[in-house]
Structure 1
Amino acid sequence: MLLIEVINAREVVRQRIGKLGARLIGKIVDPDKQVEEALIQEMETAFKEFGIEAKITSVSGAQTIGTGLIELPIQVRNIKEVRHKE
């Protein structure tokens, strides 16, 4: 199982939408959701190329602490199943 925590979502979105749009971050634009959706799309494409079947779950609330601890609870934002067709 892989766990990926994006720690610079605000900066990534700020770079993509510029200074004017940066004012909307947190008000209208959810940077974590935006970056996660882009990552899920990229992972789905790569997984299909390699024939990998997976379930990608986007959650909020979980946070890694150091190297050995994950803080919960979580709220599921989105689940994407990647399957290859035979």
Structure 2
Amino acid sequence: MLVIEVTNARDVVRQRLGRLGGRLIGKVVDAEAQVEKALIQELETAFKEFGIEARIFSVDGPRMLGRSHLEIPVQVRAERDVRLDL
């Protein structure tokens, strides 16, 4: 399994859109989503050329912590403590 973390998404979008586009990042343009969309398209093309079948996911939330830990946040909808009354 591969995990790819794009660390300069804002810079890539800024280069593609210019100064005005750079001001829109975070307001109108989601830099990470745009770069991931382009990257997925490129991966799909390359995989097809090599005869590789794969599932590619673009997800929000997980992040790398150093070289040995992947943090995957979980949204908690409800929480309840269960205690025994003694």
Q: TM-score scaled to structure 2, two decimals?
A: 0.84
Deviations 1:10-38 (A, max 9, x none): 00000000001111000000000000000
Contact 1:62 1:74 in 2 (8 A): no
- Structure 2 CA distance for partners of 1:47 and 1:55, relative to 1, 3 Å: same
User: Shift in Å at residue 5 of structure 1?
Assistant: 0.3
**Which of the pair has more CA radius of gyration?**
2
Higher strand share: 1
- 2:69 paired residue number: 69
Two-structure CA RMSD over aligned residues (Å): 1.3
Structure having greater relative contact order (Cα 8 Å, sep ≥ 6): 1
Contact 1:59 1:74 in 2 (8 A): no
User: Shift in Å at residue 63 of structure 1?
Assistant: 0.4
Matched residue type, 1:9: A
- Structure 2 CA distance for partners of 1:71 and 1:29, relative to 1, 3 Å: same
In the alignment of these two chains, the number of paired residues is: 75
User: Shift in Å at residue 74 of structure 1?
Assistant: 6.5
- 1:78 paired residue number: none
Q: TM-score scaled to structure 1, two decimals?
A: 0.84
Contact 1:36 1:58 in 2 (8 A): yes
- 1:27 paired residue number: 27
**Structure 2 CA distance, aligned partners of 1:40 and 1:69?**
24
